[in-house]
Amino acid sequence: MAKRLITPEDLLKFVFVGDPQISPDGEQILFSRKQITEKNTYLNHLWSVDLKGGLKQWTQGESSAGGGRWSPDGKKILFVSDRKKPGAQFYTIDASGGEAAQLSKLPEGRIGEYQWSPDGKWIAFMFRPAAESNTEAARKERETKGSSVPPRVTESVWYRFDGDGYFLAERFSVHLLDVATGEHRQLYAGCSEVDFYDFSWAPSSTELVIRHPAEKRPLFQPANDQLFRVDLKGNVTKVNGVPKGVKSSPRWSPDGKWIAFACDPNADTWPDGNYQLFIVPADGGIAESLSAKTDFCLAGGTTADTQEASSSPIVIWAPDSQSIYTSIGWHGATHVWQFDIKGGHKQLTSGARNYILGNMAQGKLALVTADGTTLGEVACFDLASGKDQKLTAFNKEFHDSVKVSEPEEMWLEAEDGWKVQAWVMKPAEFDASKKYPAVLEIHGGPQAQYGWTFFHEFQVLAAAGYVVVFSNPRGSKGYGEAHCKAIHASWGDRDWADMQAVIKWMQSQPYINKAQMGVMGGSYGGYMTNWIVSHCKDFKAAIADRCVSNLVSLGGTCDMPLVKESFWGAYPFGDLSKIEKLWKQSPIAYFDKVDTPMLIIHSEGDLRCNIEQSEQVFYALKAQNVEARFVRYPLNSYHGLSRSGPPDLRLHRLHEILNWWKSHL
């Protein structure tokens, strides 16, 4: 049977898998399986696969269930579901089968990270109650009385977060759930200004280690996350010897002697250095970086629109407490590495692939793996044999039916000699004798990387007859600290030099029509799109998606506020010379030079890059009679629309992109 070309609507056929968790006996992997329903929603359920490929579905129904975790003895599965609305609750199901039983009776609110205690008696979890005005009961009462939605009132700058909405004065704190009784209580709330926490259990199950900011005003001070030991009565002991900086993923060693964590010791609130892998004695002492002799960062995942964007470091102890497993993004791939506590490290997985690490048991690692031409599937890596095995094939029927474009890698050289990794995807029905229009895609972040994973948007463009080019200019992760820090407080400089090298390469290719080139990007990629059209005339049209255009106004409208004298070395008010520094790095300052037709895409619910950033671009273009189209998605969408927004809006966005390029290229 002849294969067809990929379309935007293929999104509705995809099966997304994630959060792989191998059972304590090492025999099966629990994971989340998500699909889009006819009701324009994502439905997520728990499945498992054994090492021979045998599948089992654990949850059913019209309410999603996710975050499945095996109990330490492997006899139960814990998960979260909102099947009894309005709030989500914890449920357990016997590993031998049967119906799920509700475990918790939480008030309406949001559940965050959670972990079983090693003895199986407790669940430690993050919980934030809903603001009273945001509860379902309050909404129904307003509806009955015909009352207006009340004003949002806050005295803290931390009152909203993109994808999370407006939580006002409510904060996450660490809670304990008694597995035997279902009763819960707050254990620890160590930071009232913000609620940035990570934690893990001690092997004794008598205490936790909790990471949170130690400063009184952490959003306005240089980062200083610290570690605190908290027993089950709430008594707190600070772990001495931990450096300042941004931290994540504290994990207690199985023998109780060490606490491992990821840390960028020199970071402010916008870290662009390497997250290193540290260990510190659990009783306090000298913290040691196990990865300092490398140039790796533990927070550099590969960006795609077929998986949630995540750059959180992963830290997993080996059972003998002598080594730690983690993920490293490097040169467009993401692989699993092992670091020994006495020195030494090695890469376990290999190839042009993206591996997402879940957990480990019995010498096996649970993974999700994808590459440039195939969607993610569940896999298992065997430490003894050094081999990985793909266990599911949910997307096989889709892949068997469509033509895909395979990314081709190249390394380019910028004007100053810096090397830049880039890829080209030729049209799915490529003919070397023809010239094609081309689209340059630019990733967000900028602390992220493009690479070897399945990108639906890229495949759709290639299927429509475009050459697709993407790269990791300076500012990206995956090439060492100097590469990422090269644009520290200096956007539009070395990143622009790298993009010019990519543009020159595109113009030199015999199969690219250099008069028919477009540029597009989202978030920071939208910033660079705006920068490019205001600094060159090489592109016939452009698309700025959820963009940044004005660093001065961004400082007060982003959910993560600028910290004075930190990343930018400037502030959006006060000293005019410092405001001017931000203004000179703002693309909108140069929009008097723009005559490139632009499609502008933004979500009204975007709290990361407020829609006012795009409004300024649209106004500047229209004021100069430059062709522009502004697509504003509604409040129920947010910054991550292209990855996890409402399915119908994701399809609408893809068709807007195709229609724009069709009419201009």
The 3-class secondary structure across 205-248, one letter per residue, is: CCEEEEEEECCCCHHHCCCEEEEEEEECCCCEEECCCCCCEEEE
In this prediction, residue 643 carries a pLDDT of 93
d(CA 109, CA 175): 13
The pLDDT-based confidence of 290 (bands split at 50, 70, 90) is very high
Query: What pLDDT is stored for residue 116 in this prediction?
Result: 98
CA–CA gap between residue 367 and residue 265 (Å, rounded): 29
pLDDT of residue 373: 98
Q: For residue 596, is pLDDT > 80?
A: yes
Q: Whole-angstrom Cα distance, residue 381 to residue 166?
A: 41
| pLDDT per position as a tens digit, 141-151 | 999 999 999 99
SS3 502: helix
Percent above pLDDT 90 for the chain: 91
Q: Does an H or E element contain 600, and which?
A: strand 598-603
Residue 565 has pLDDT above 70, yes or no: no
The answer to whether residue 564 scores a pLDDT higher than 90 is: no
pLDDT digits (tens, 9 = 90+) for 617-640: 999 999 999 999 999 999 999 999
Q: Does pLDDT of 268 surpass 80?
A: no
> Taking the model in full, what pTM does it have?
0.97
Chain mean pLDDT for the chain: 95
Say whether pLDDT at 541 is over 80. yes
- What the chain holds in terms of domains, given with CATH numbers, is 405-550+586-664 (3.40.50.1820)
Give the whole-number percent of the chain exceeding pLDDT 70: 99
- The model's pLDDT over 477-536, given as tens digits with 9 standing for 90+, comes to 999 999 999 999 999 999 999 999 999 999 999 999 999 999 999 999 999 999 999 999
Output the pLDDT for position 309: 60
- Is the per-residue pLDDT at 571 higher than 90? no
Of 528, 522, 419, whose CA–CA distance to 479 is shortest?
Answer: 419
Q: How confident is the model at residue 562 (pLDDT cuts 50, 70, 90)?
A: confident
Name the pLDDT band for 170 (thresholds 50, 70, 90): very high
Residue 190: pLDDT above 90? no
d(CA 536, CA 596): 10
> Are 364 and 27 contacting, i.e. CB atoms less than 8 angstroms apart?
no
Residue 339: the pLDDT is 98
pLDDT in tens, 123-132: 999 999 999 8
Q: What is the pLDDT confidence band of residue 433, given thresholds at 50, 70 and 90?
A: very high
Half-sphere exposure of 660 (CA within 13 A, CB side): 29
Pairing of strands 598-603, 628-633: parallel
User: Between helices 524-533 and 612-623, what is the axis angle to 10°?
Assistant: 20
What digits encode the pLDDT tens for the residues 328-356? Answer: 999 999 999 999 999 999 999 999 999 99
